Amino acid sequence: MGLFRTLLNWLLPPPPVNRADGSPRRYRQPVELTYSGTRVYESRVGTADQLFDGPDRGWKPGFRYHDFCLDWGGTRYMVSALDDKLIFTFRDGQSFPARIDPGDLSKVWCLMAEQSCRPWPEDEDDEDEDEDEDFGAHEGPLMAVDVHYPKTGGAVAAAVLFHNWHNTAPYADLTIRLDTVADYEPGAFYKRELPCIQALLDQMRQQPSAIIIDGYVTLGAVDKAGLGLHLYRALEEKVPVIGVAKTAFAGTPETAELLRGTSTQPLYVTAAGMSQDSAKSIIASMHGPNRMPTLLRRVDRLCRDRADPC
C-alpha cells in the first residue's frame, strides 16, 4: 500500500500555483525517464576487521546503478538510480514516469525514490573538455575521511564511500583502528594523520576519484603544504583532494570561506587537483541544510562511534 500511495502522489498533478524559489517539493512537474543501461559495482561491506578476519571476508556484489536519460528544456540529463536491493530490471529504451522541480534540476523523483540528476556527459574523446566541469562522472568512488584519537590511545580512521556529490547516504562505510600513531607535532600534523588515511586507502580495491578530508589542503595565504597537499602528493597527484575545515587557520584568505544553509559561520575550503572554485561548488552542492554536509557529519560520527562504542 505504501508503494502504491507513493506512486499515486508522484502521478498526481502539482497544485495550480506559480513556482517560487524555495517552495516545497510538491511543486513538481511530470517527465519521462528512458532507460539506457546498468552499471554493476562491487562494494566493501563492514569494517576492515570483519572483511579480513571474518568467515565472509572479501568483496561482495554491493549495488547497481541504472542509468536513465531525461530531456528537459532542450538539455539532456542523466539520472543514475541506485538499486542497492537489486530488485529492479528494465528493458532497453523502456520509459516510466518521474517528476522534477524546475527550480532544482539536480534531483529527480521516481519509483526508485529521490535520485541525482546531472547534464549528460560529453563524448569522452572530446579533448577540449574541462576536467573540473566533468566532475560528475567518476570511475572510482568519492571518499570522505576523518580520524579520531581516543583518550585510550591510537586512532580510529573512518571513510564513507559514495558515487555522487548529491548523495544523501554512502553505499559503504569503512573503518580501521590503529594501535599506535605518531605524537602530535605542531606545524607537522600530517605526520600523525596521513598514515591513518593511507591505512584506509590500503583497504580499498579501487582508488577513489576524489577525497574530502577534515582539515586543510594548503595553509594560510602562502599556501603552505597542509595534510591535504601531502596526501595529494602521496597519491602521485592523481586523486583530487578537497579540504573542509571548521576553524580558520592564521592567514587563511577570504576566498576559502563558504557559507552553507542558514549558517553564519563559514567552512574553509582548500583543494589540490582542482580549482578552489570547483571545490567550493562541490561542497556547497552536497546534501544537507546545515553548515556541514550530511556525509561529512556522518564520517565524523562514524570514527567517534567506532572509537568509543556504547
> How large is the average pLDDT for residues 98-114?
75
> How large is the average pLDDT for residues 85-90?
70
> How large is the average pLDDT for residues 85-97?
76
Q: Is the pLDDT of residue 131 over 50?
A: no
Which residue ranges make up each domain of the chain? Answer: 27-120, 142-307
Instruction: Give residue 204's pLDDT.
Output: 87
142-307 topology per CATH: archaeoglobus fulgidus dsm 4304 fold (3.30.2170)
Residue of 130 and 80 predicted with greater confidence: 80
Instruction: Give residue 87's pLDDT.
Output: 67
Q: Is the pLDDT of residue 259 over 90?
A: yes
Q: DSSP letter string over the chain? A: -HHHHHHHHHHSPPPSS---TT--TT--EEEEEEEEEEEEEEE--S-HHHHHHSTT-S-EEEEEEEEEEEEETTEEEEEEEEETT------TT-EEEEEEETTEEEEEEETTEEEEEEEPPPPTT-TT--TGGGTT--SSPEEEEEEE--TTSSEEEEEEEESSTT-SS-SEEEEEEES--PPP-TT-THHHHHHHHHHHHHT-SS--SEEEEES-SEETTTTEE-HHHHHHHHTTT-S-EEEEESSPPTT--GGGEE--TT-SSPEEEEEESS-HHHHHHHHHHSS-SSSS-HHHHHHHHHHHHHHS--
Q: Is the pLDDT of residue 188 over 80?
A: no
Q: Is the pLDDT of residue 184 over 50?
A: yes
Predicted confidence (pLDDT) per residue in 241-253, tens digit: 999 999 998 889 9
Instruction: Give residue 107's pLDDT.
Output: 77
